Every structure is written in C-alpha cells, then in structure tokens.
A = this chain, B = another copy of it.
Amino acid sequence: MLNQPLTMSRDCGDCPIRHRAVCARCEADELEKLDKIKFYRSFQAGQTVIWAGDQMDFVGSVISGIATLTQTMEDGRTQMVGLLLPSDFVGRPGRDTASYDVQATSDLVMCCFRRKPFEELMATTPHIAQRLLEMTLDELDAAREWMLVLGRKTAREKIASLLSIIARRDATLNMRSGTGPIVFDLPLTREAMADYLGLTLETVSRQMSALRKDGVIVLEGKRHVTVPDFDRLMEEAGDDSDGGMLA
C-alpha cells in the first residue's frame, strides 16, 4: 500500500519533457538553478494531488501520466476544466491556494518546485516567464475551444471531439504521423469523459457504442481505440478542415 507520494531524484538532461515544459527555454545555468529547488513526486492512479482551496506551496510539471483539473458544485455536479498531459504545468505563481481539484487519472510523476523560490527565479529568469506565458496562452486557446464544444456541440460531436483531441495529442507526443489508422488507449473512464464533456456517463457509453456501430471507431475492450479514418472522425466532431491548435 503506497499512499504517500514518493520523492526521488533525476537529471534534467534525461528528462523526457525537457524541451516542452516550462523549463524548455532555459540555458544550462538557469537549469542548474531550477535543479536546486526541484523535487519529484509520484502519485498512484486515483490519488488526489491537491484539493481546491488547499494551501499550495509548490508548482510543477507533469512528467508522465495524466492528471485532471476539476471543479465541483455544492450539490456534487462536477466539470473537468483541464486535462494535464506530460509537460503541462500545474499551479499558479502568485497564488497560494489551489483553484481546482487536481487528480491523478493514471499513475503520475511530477517535477515540482517550491513556489516561493520558483517565483523568485521567475522574476530573474525571463526564459521561464516567457515560456510560461506561451503555455498559458495555449491553454487559454484550448479552454476556449472547449467552450465551443460544451456550449454548442451535440453529444455525438462532443465524443468525437474528445477522441480526436486525444488521438492528436497522442500522435504529437509519440511523434507518430502519416495517414494510417490511429491507435490509442483512452486515458479516461466513461465517467471522466462525461465530466469533461458535460454529459452523463450513460450518454457517453451510448454514443461510444453508436460511433462503433457506425464504423467511426473500433473498440477492443473498453479503452483500446482504433480510428480507421481520422478525417471521418473530424467530420463527426463538427470541425472539418480545422487545423486544431493544441497545447
């Protein structure tokens, strides 16, 4: 039973997200300073990284695994407001409490920095602030894209949108390309998908079945997805010919 986060230590040179995370622009000397205040934390699938409202004395990057950002109303309705993949940044410099619940959806490893030293470093290291601005702007674009999905798309379009985003991100991370069939594992339960899309899990399940029946996707088990024709999926998502910007 491993309920407490692990800590460990690694070299930034080997880091799989070295060129995409908040430290991407840093020079060797800057990296060294970051290295001094960094520490790793691991979480098991299902664990909560932090609760909304809790004191948050660190910020950090996702190294591997997937985490979610969710908001909850008093009566229990929940909406996911962010999906954190490797290289994504967690936390807000200048704010000392978490705004959202952060949960590990899969096993998760994060590279964390104590907040105060990180803020001081940011003030003296433009490369960090620059990169953070860029990443935040990307996230804002993604959030706005998602507002269109939540506000105006049908259940079927929502599912197709989510699948195409995951497929695309997966392809980017793994540097795959080409026009062959796309294969990936869903990193989310049906319930988490529902929370992301503003639907119920029953509707998610039904629409997944419908897309399977219509040949838009092939399902092996509940999570393993093959997309034989990505353009078809994009059509189903309601946005053809849209390059689709992603973080």
Contacts and interface: CB of A to CB of B under 8 A. Distances in A.
Interface of A: 69, 71, 73-75, 77-79, 81-82, 92, 94, 99-100, 123, 126, 129-130, 132-134, 136-137, 139-141, 143-148, 150-152, 197-198, 238-240, 245
Nearest to A136: B136
A78 to B, nearest CB: 7
How many copies of the chain does the oligomer comprise? 2
Given A73-B238, A74-B240, A78-B152, 17 more contacts: A69-B144, A73-B148, A73-B152, A74-B238, A79-B152, A81-B144, A92-B137, A94-B134, A94-B137, A100-B144, A129-B129, A129-B130, A133-B133, A133-B136, A136-B137, A147-B147, A150-B150
Contact of A144 (B82, B133, B145): B82
Interface-central residue, A92, A145, A152, A197, by most chain B CB under 10 Å: A152
Contact of A129 (B126, B139, B144): B126
Contacts of A77: 152
7 contacts: A73-B148, A74-B240, A81-B147, A94-B134, A129-B133, A133-B136, A140-B143
The 8 closest A-B pairs by CB, nearest first: A151-B198, A81-B144, A150-B150, A143-B143, A79-B148, A79-B151, A77-B152, A150-B151
A79 B148 CA distance: 5
Contacts of A133: 129, 132-133, 136
Contacts of A134: 94
